[in-house]
Amino acid sequence: MGQKINPLGFRLGTTQSHDSVWFAQPKNYSENIQEDKKIRDFIKNYIQKNIRVSSGVEGIGQIKIQKRIDLIQVIIYMGFPKLLIEGKPQKIEELQTNMQKKLNCVNRKLNIAIARVANAYKHPNILAEFIAGQLKNRVSFRKAMKKAIELTEQAGTKGVQIQIAGRIDGKEIARVEWIREGRVPLQTIRAKIDYCCYTVRTIYGVLGIKVWIFLNKE
């Protein structure tokens, strides 16, 4: 049978690089991983709570973390960074101070930077958020998928595959629906494929959204 593997881990070292860059001794390794998870969750929650988003898309593509002895550098790649920057410039500082309290990093400095993603809908996370927003507003899943595929095609990708699983449209029996447009060569390691898995809580239950986007061949 076909064995499924996460396309990002499968391509580490060829087309994919690590999202967290740091070095730790074996005994501190797990702490560092938990700290990374805390940072990512904190940023996502902060943006969800403090920024009223009209389209339901927060637009976080990815969060990269680099750690040194005295510094934690966090880069947030956003599709629509004006949500954070334009509103109030002190929002980022507030986020920084709150996070420093949360992590209680006394002897380390925390630095948050925001980078802009050129084509927002080339990022599977942002696309999955868009679909999740549509499903929460009870748009039929086929319409949401088709609209998402249109958006990625406008962003100039070579192929996209979207899969939604769970109680779709509130049906009693859970099922899996998927749709593919263009090429998505998952077996080719040189093919740069971006992937994300996103859970969305609807009133019927939890749905899982998976998005594969084929960007280009290295």
Please name which of 140, 181, 188, 183 lies closest in space to residue 164, comparing C-alpha atoms: 140
Domains of the chain: 9-116 (3.30.300.20), 120-216 (3.30.1140.32)
pLDDT tens-place values along the chain, 218 residues long: 777 899 999 999 998 999 999 999 999 999 999 999 999 999 888 887 776 655 556 678 889 999 988 899 999 888 877 666 655 567 778 888 888 888 877 788 888 888 888 888 888 999 998 899 899 888 999 999 999 999 899 888 999 999 999 999 889 999 999 999 999 999 999 999 999 999 999 889 999 999 999 988 65
What's this model's pTM, rounded to 2 decimal places? 0.87
- Residues 6 or more apart whose Cβ sits within 8 Å of residue 160: 127, 148, 149, 152, 153, 180, 181, 182, 184, 211, 212, 213, 214
